[in-house]
Amino acid sequence: MIRWDAHNCLPLHPQASFAPIDALHAAGVNYVSINVGMDMNPVTQIMSVIAGYRATIAAHPQSYCLVSSVADIERARQAGQMAMGFDLEGAMPLLEQPEMVALYASMGVRQIHFAYNRNNSVADGCHDVARGLTPLGRRMVEAVNAAGLLMDCSHTGRRCSLDIMAAASHPVVFSHANPLALVEHGRNISDEQIRACAATGGVVCVSGVSRFLGSTHPGARDVARHAAYVANLVGVQHVGIGLDIGFSEPALDDSPPGDFDRSHWWPESAGYGNGIAGIRYAPLDTWRELEAALQAQELSAGEAALVMGGNMLRVAQQVWPTP
């Protein structure tokens, strides 16, 4: 069984430790998508991060595998390696050039969403004014589909996410999003969005973030409750996991350079305080407890396996290039 964590965050620094990746692997995860940059990060920082992460992976071939296909994940599992890919959170690193998508893909980026909470020239953020997908955004969707990347709608405005899903020719995912029906928050997604995602053949991956789960000390039971809601709404074949843990290292400053306004990207009006400093995350041990927690929500062992990785594996097989 492949266990797939659809989104986590190391420090955005080329010297970031991969100890959290090792811990995820020890907890049973076979594949993890690691963020390499957001809309507030300049391309110079993102390139430095990608270069640093790639160097760490290359220096430890016995431990890590940067994948380009689903077949790489199975090979990594058999070799005892942690398989991983990169993801981008926002379209600003694309510099308004659709051809940048394929360039990032060549460096290991396997999924992308187009807006991080705020609007840009491509798409709308979930904490900004609704406009819908822009004409440039439609070209970007085509570029993502052509490059064989997973089209992600996390952090995206509701109307805009529906536009993206209508324009996409491949299944679309939410790599870390939770049902609005269970917790009222702008980052959570409506039943309409969940149904639209399922209609593309895609997957909604439940995050482990406290504020979005509605729990001050989140864990496997909270994640399973949200997963069960999505399963009951659209079918268990459309549910996954993306814990969205933000790992930190006090010795590393990964802040964007210059005058960085945290309150813009994480507005107090949306319930954030001091950016995301007050957020708690479901612990890594959630992965050890999740199968039992899902079965406690009346999912069978086979259905739990789909949620924990089988569904994202299926979508990747449909979207990623075949070697």
Q: Which of 275, 247, 272, 260 is nearest to 45 (CA)?
A: 260
Q: Which residues of 129-164 are buried (b: 16+ CB within 10 A; e: fewer)?
A: eeeebbebbbbbbebbbebbbbbbbbbbbbebbbbb
Per-residue pLDDT of the chain (323 residues; tens, 9 = 90+): 899 999 999 999 999 999 999 999 999 999 999 999 999 999 999 999 999 999 999 999 999 999 999 999 999 999 999 999 999 999 999 999 999 999 999 999 999 999 999 999 999 999 999 999 999 999 999 999 999 999 999 999 999 999 999 999 999 999 999 999 999 999 999 999 999 999 999 999 999 999 999 999 999 999 999 999 999 999 999 999 999 999 999 999 999 998 888 999 999 888 887 667 678 999 999 999 999 999 999 999 999 999 999 999 999 999 999 87
What is residue 156's predicted lDDT score, i.e. its pLDDT? Answer: 98
What is residue 258's predicted lDDT score, i.e. its pLDDT? Answer: 85
Report pLDDT digits (tens) over 108-139: 999 999 999 999 999 999 999 999 999 999 99
Tokens of 184: 């009222």
Report pLDDT digits (tens) over 184-242: 999 999 999 999 999 999 999 999 999 999 999 999 999 999 999 999 999 999 999 99
Cα atoms in the Cβ-side hemisphere of radius 13 Å centred on 65: 21
What is residue 274's predicted lDDT score, i.e. its pLDDT? Answer: 67
Cα 290 from Cα 225, distance rounded (Å):
11
Q: Which of 137, 286, 303, 171 is nearest to 236 (CA)?
A: 303
Cα 36 from Cα 104, distance rounded (Å):
10
Give the Cβ contact number of residue 259 at 10 Å: 5
Cα 151 from Cα 148, distance rounded (Å):
9
Q: Positive or negative CA dihedral for 14, 212, 184, 190?
A: positive
Domains and CATH numbers, the chain: 4-319 (3.20.20.140)
Q: Which residues are within 8 A (CB) of 78 and not within 5 positions of it... i.e. 6 or more apart?
A: none
Beta pairing class for 150-152 and 172-174: parallel
Cα 286 from Cα 208, distance rounded (Å):
9
What is residue 205's predicted lDDT score, i.e. its pLDDT? Answer: 98
Cα 181 from Cα 27, distance rounded (Å):
30
Cα 192 from Cα 183, distance rounded (Å):
15
Q: Where are the beta strands (DSSP E) in the chain?
A: 4-8, 31-38, 64-66, 82-89, 109-113, 150-152, 172-174, 203-206, 239-241
| CA-to-CA dists, residue 283 to 35, 126, 210, angstroms | 18, 26, 11
What is residue 275's predicted lDDT score, i.e. its pLDDT? Answer: 63
What is residue 269's predicted lDDT score, i.e. its pLDDT? Answer: 85
What is residue 278's predicted lDDT score, i.e. its pLDDT? Answer: 74
Tokens of 163: 């536009």
Q: Across the strands, what pairs with 32?
A: 5, 84
| CA-to-CA dists, residue 243 to 50, 276, 282, 316, 319, angstroms | 21, 15, 7, 18, 22
Q: Whole-model pTM above 0.95?
A: yes
Q: Are 171 and 201 in contact (CB under 8 A)?
A: yes
Q: Residue 274 — φ and ψ, nearest 5°?
A: 55, 55
